[in-house]
Structure 1
Amino acid sequence: MDDGMEIKEFKTFEEQVAKLVEHGCENITSEEYAINILKRINYYRLTAYFLPFRDEKTQKYNNNKISLEKVYSLYQFDSELRLLLMEYLEDIELYFRTQIAYHHANQYGALAYKNSQNFNKFHKHEEFMENLEKELSYRRKDPVYKHHQLKYDGEFPLWVLVEFFSFGMTSKFYADSLNDIQSIIAQDLKLKTTQVRTYLEVAVVLRNYCAHYGRLYYRSFTKIPRQLPSFMTENIKIKNRLMAQLYAIKQLYGDNEKWNKDFILRLRALFTKYQSSIRLYHLGFTNDWEVVLKK
């Protein structure tokens, strides 16, 4: 083993609590309270929520601004936020599966996805077919899979096949479709094809963060939507934070009424519930965020 690389020592829950205090989080109700939290949430995961309160030079937490309750509250806020977003990202994913299957099959036929000529020049057909095989092999026990193996000799029309697509595959299928298909789908959302492609890529990454319990609070996203309002583009602390991501999601969301009357209201309620712990600017949100995110 390379001596230069020192792996950190294992620490008991008691030692983890002592480490939090040592790093500047002195405001802890009791050791028992702290251990209770650390038994449920990995220390490494929890400490990510201390980031907004860490001094760059000393790497210590600002003791005046921090308490374990507050950080735990941020953690809970983040969990609820992910659940809310997942619901809307699921709607978008299922909408796009339906759209690509319908229009591609309508234009070229049920099994036309097997022919690389029915895609544009960016399409890597072998890779696409391999990914399909992979997804199908995961689902061998699925009744839909079994039914098509028995009854249709293992042939899957596109409108069945999309049910096995990951969101990434759905996004890629859209981007690789010929322009007429991309245009029909984009027009329905009153968007340009370039917008749909870039917003979909953002949605896929955001969905993966949510599905794998990734932190959204105080997160700088690397996949930044293009074609944002100028006030977002000009400010890096807005551009690479959550509000810009939600601007992209808004564009892809087809049901205006549900977005305005359900999503916006639930997001506002969530902000209100956790208002003593969260700071909207840590999410890149401006005071007029409701106006910006309304459809």
Structure 2
Amino acid sequence: MTLEKNTPKMKPPTTFKEQVELYKRRKLHVENSENAENILQRVNYYRFSAYGLTLKNPHNKDEYANGASFHNMLSLYEFDRRLRLLLLGALETIEIAFRTHISYETAHKIGPTGYREKECFQNETYHRQSLRELDALIKKSRKSELFIEHHFQKYGGVFPIWVAIEVTSFGFLSKFYRNLHEDLKKHIARTYYNVPYKYIESWLQTLSNVRNICAHYGRLYNKYLTFKPKLFKEEASQLSNKRIFAAIYIIERLLTKTEGRRFITDLDALISEYEDTIDFAHIGFPPNWQELLETIYRQK
């Protein structure tokens, strides 16, 4: 294999042992070199090192701060992994609920196949694109989903919204809701969530992105949200919409009381286990984060 002449020169690959030695040279305390090598055999060095960014020496980014250790990085990695799993469970509940609410109200307001009519949506171009995306998803699911094949066989490939919605993603739901006519968006937002639809639009976009990060094992710790959720004035004065806590806050708002109680309990247990390791500023947790979530719970 020949490389292009203009290809920049890359660093040579390192062995697992060399990666551990590199950490040491950069003044990271490695408690057990053999164990560290074993970890790096399972977790890519480049991925793992991202959890050490907040442990760097502020005056020399090529070195780690005094007291920083491999164990610290591993704890941050494990915390982040478990936080993703916790959020995925809650986001699954929210996504399925939104599928239900959107398909139910759409079917009753504009008919079982009304979602295919451009008159029911605000932007014709977006609607046309969404139909192409939906048809592609249905076609892709035909071989793997018996209910899809059943509708092809029995109904000639005509799908009511409550069937079609089951092959969609969170991202599709977000875009579909955003393009619905305003009256229908208002109705869904008020009936099921008791908030103006503009907030639901924003929250769906934020949570869709967070869900994708979690599903693809991306990092939440020390990351800014790609889509910052719209917050009410009182909320915005107490918490930032830039970090993951903002997403956690709106997750709690969108869960039912029973679901919300379970979510708060599990989150509190996770935070308590890692509170000596994590820096709350890097996940956007305000000092009164428990009180904020409990207030939402009591208002349901």
| TM-score, normalized by the shorter chain, greater than 0.5 | yes
Could you tell me which runs of 5 or more consecutive residues in structure 1 were left unpaired when the two chains were aligned. none
- What percent identity do the matched residue pairs reach? 34
Q: Does 1:115 find its partner at 2:146?
A: no
Cα deviation for residue 230 of structure 1 reads 5.3
Q: Does 1:72 find its partner at 2:74?
A: yes
2:216 counterpart letter in structure 1: H
Q: Does 1:216 find its partner at 2:217?
A: no
TM-score when scaled to structure 2?
0.91
Counterpart for residue 226 of structure 1:
230
- Please tell me whether the aligned partners of residues 174 and 182 of structure 1 are also in contact (alpha carbons under 8 angstroms): yes
Q: Which has the higher mean CA deviation after the structures are superposed, 4-13 or 28-37?
A: 4-13
CA RMSD of aligned residues (A): 1.9
Task: Please list, as runs of the form range in 1=range in 2, the aligned pairs for 1:26-37 lying within 5 A after superposition.
Answer: 27-37=29-39
Counterpart for residue 265 of structure 1:
265
Take 1:262 and 1:145, find their aligned partners in 2: how far apart are those partners? Answer: 34
Q: Which has the higher mean CA deviation after the structures are superposed, 222-231 or 127-136?
A: 222-231
Q: Does 1:10 find its partner at 2:13?
A: yes
Task: Please list, as runs of the form range in 1=range in 2, the aligned pairs for 1:47-62 lying within 5 A after superposition.
Answer: 47-62=49-64
Distance 1:230 1:3, change over 3 A: farther
2:74 counterpart letter in structure 1: Y
Task: Please list, as runs of the form range in 1=range in 2, the aligned pairs for 1:219-258 lying within 5 A after superposition.
Answer: 219-229=223-233, 232=236, 238-253=240-255, 255-258=256-259
TM-score when scaled to structure 1?
0.92
Distance 1:122 1:81, change over 3 A: farther
Cα deviation for residue 4 of structure 1 reads 6.6
Take 1:122 and 1:252, find their aligned partners in 2: how far apart are those partners? Answer: 29
Cα deviation for residue 232 of structure 1 reads 4.2
Bigger relative contact order, structure 1 or 2, given CA contacts below 8 A and separation 6+? Answer: 1
Select 1:102's aligned residue among 98, 101, 104: 104
Instruction: Give per-residue Cα distances to partners, 1:168-203, cap 9 Å, x unaligned.
Output: 111111111112211111112110010110111111
Counterpart for residue 187 of structure 1:
190
1:68 counterpart letter in structure 2: F
Cα deviation for residue 291 of structure 1 reads 1.5
Take 2:174 and 2:235, find their aligned partners in 1: how far apart are those partners? Answer: 27
Take 1:227 and 1:2, find their aligned partners in 2: how far apart are those partners? Answer: 51
Take 1:149 and 1:264, find their aligned partners in 2: how far apart are those partners? Answer: 43
SS in 1 for 2:219: coil
